[in-house]
Chain A
């Protein structure tokens, strides 16, 4: 450890610090850029055969092709629709069950036990049963997403309600809030951070489940696009699919974080100026 002379600290200026921060952000790109460059060189020299992994340049042109013909958008829309429907239903079910189990004794007894048992089952293990129940239509994919996303929302929301500081409930009594006021002004808002933690998990899981279920039996969706490419050994299209899934995961997580920041302004450490 080296000590910084006091004078230097005094001279630290904000603008310099901001510029350094911008540079730091760019620096995290160095690794990926080097990796892609190596990959391109490997492909160009024949070190990485085309049938193993397409070159980055081929991937880009394949992606451009898919966009131009509209196929990418078409399948992306289908996947998005499935994820959105499944996620909405799953989150709703998880949240409602958590609130009922968290607020009522009978709810706790009735709901929590089964939920704790069911959540031990990986959603994808349900694929055979789901196919028996729903055939191979849209329902299977949506069902799997619903099943997989309800649990993280349930578990985190329920834990947040249970773990609420009992001193707040005591306070509610001293100001005579009443049972309804306690629920509306103390318990539900207090459990919202837990709900959002669950929602973030659920969003990530929804893609995971969709990736797999779309590769098992589908005639549309990004997963289908990739499966189809596999039978023609089009590694470039497969990589395009991977990139799209990655972007979807990143974007949806950003979106949930953004909503979270909007809904829970009181959690922000620094107030915006």
Chain B
């Protein structure tokens, strides 16, 4: 995975991006993105549709190596997408073990499935899973790699509101247990505030806003700070007051 630009680094920063430029033909999508993510930091990336969030995530994932600028990421990375992307012809456990080698892998895969609450679905075929279960399996497939950097591209975007809330709690729990750096791409402002310690906004190819989330311990979602931050982020995303 290690190329000159896309080299693996250790601490202090888990992710270090400097002057990242990315174009598709004549379309200049990322115009000098600077971004550091600390080890174990939970960061959310907001941006309007088409602002280049997925493009940035794909560069960090190593899926797109055709860019200008400097990008340093950890060697152990994992990605989950909006679609669970489970191979239909492999049972859930075998999907989780995709790319894993060695004798201990199976036990580890089962333990991870247990962690995401899918222990009883290890032998199920993907098409029998609900949307939420599919995303749980995708999370297990990511976690089993013990990533230092977990990249999530709108992983809950296709779920219903109730399931999404459950997945939020699960993701926070998993993050607390494993402490990877997380970059969560989302278009849902409330999701970003509720989950992340830090929220970024991508506007016109640059990080236009970078704020820490500081909420009271009790009932954070109903706090004043939550509402204020929400308004600020929506304004940054260009949503007029009358539309909120």
Q: Chain B: which residue is nearest A168 at the CB level?
A: B87
Partner of B99 from A175, A189, A271 at Cβ < 8 Å: A175
> What is the CB-to-nearest-CB distance from A178 to chain B, in angstroms, rounded to a whole number?
8
- Contact between A177 and B98 (Cβ–Cβ < 8 Å)? yes
- Contact between A167 and B85 (Cβ–Cβ < 8 Å)? yes
> What is the CB-to-nearest-CB distance from A272 to chain B, in angstroms, rounded to a whole number?
12
* B145, CB-defined interface residue at 8 Å: yes
- Contact between B125 and A266 (Cβ–Cβ < 8 Å)? yes
- Contact between B83 and A167 (Cβ–Cβ < 8 Å)? yes
Q: How many pairs of A and B residues are in contact by the CB < 8 Å rule?
A: 52
- Contact between B85 and A168 (Cβ–Cβ < 8 Å)? yes
- Contact between B125 and A175 (Cβ–Cβ < 8 Å)? no
- Contact between B63 and A185 (Cβ–Cβ < 8 Å)? no
Q: Could you mark each residue 154-178 of chain A with 1 if its beta carbon is under 8 Å from any beta carbon of chain B, else 0? A: 0000000000000110111111110
Q: Could you mark each residue 70-85 of chain B with 1 if its beta carbon is under 8 Å from any beta carbon of chain A, else 0? A: 0000000111010101
- Chain A interface residue bracket vs B: 20 to 34
- Contact between B98 and A185 (Cβ–Cβ < 8 Å)? yes
Chain A residues touching B, majority SS: helix
Q: Chain A: which residue is nearest B141 at the CB level?
A: A175
> What is the CB-to-nearest-CB distance from A27 to chain B, in angstroms, rounded to a whole number?
33
Total B residues in contact with A, Cβ cutoff 8 Å: 23
Partner of A189 from B61, B85, B89, B125 at Cβ < 8 Å: B89
Report the Cα distance A170→B88, complex, angstroms.
Answer: 15
- Contact between A266 and B145 (Cβ–Cβ < 8 Å)? no
- Contact between B99 and A265 (Cβ–Cβ < 8 Å)? no
Report the Cα distance A192→B90, complex, angstroms.
Answer: 13
Q: Could you mark each residue 32-69 of chain B with 1 if its beta carbon is under 8 Å from any beta carbon of chain A, else 0? A: 00000000000000000000000000000111000000
Q: Which residues of B contact A171 (CB under 8 A)?
A: 81, 85, 87, 98
- Contact between A174 and B88 (Cβ–Cβ < 8 Å)? no
Q: Which residues of A contact B1 (CB under 8 A)?
A: 176
Report the Cα distance A97→B17, complex, angstroms.
Answer: 45
Partner of A174 from B78, B90, B125, B126 at Cβ < 8 Å: B78
Given contacts A174-B63, A174-B79, A181-B99, contact A189 B141 (CB under 8 A): no
Q: Which residues of B contact A249 (CB under 8 A)?
A: none
* B127, CB-defined interface residue at 8 Å: yes
Report the Cα distance A269→B88, complex, angstroms.
Answer: 12
Report the Cα distance A271→B61, complex, angstroms.
Answer: 36
Q: Chain A: which residue is nearest B88 at the CB level?
A: A266
- Contact between A177 and B87 (Cβ–Cβ < 8 Å)? no
> What is the CB-to-nearest-CB distance from B95 to chain A, in angstroms, rounded to a whole number?
9
* B223, CB-defined interface residue at 8 Å: no
Report the Cα distance A269→B127, complex, angstroms.
Answer: 8
- Contact between B87 and A186 (Cβ–Cβ < 8 Å)? yes
8 Å CB interface, A257-273 against B:
264-267, 269, 271
Q: Which residues of A contact B145 (CB under 8 A)?
A: 175
Q: Contacts A168-B87, A174-B78 given; 11 further ones with Cβ under 8 A?
A: A171-B81, A171-B87, A171-B98, A174-B77, A175-B141, A175-B145, A177-B98, A185-B90, A185-B98, A186-B87, A190-B89
A-B contact pairs, 8 of them (CB 8 A): A167-B83, A168-B87, A174-B79, A175-B78, A175-B145, A176-B1, A266-B127, A271-B125
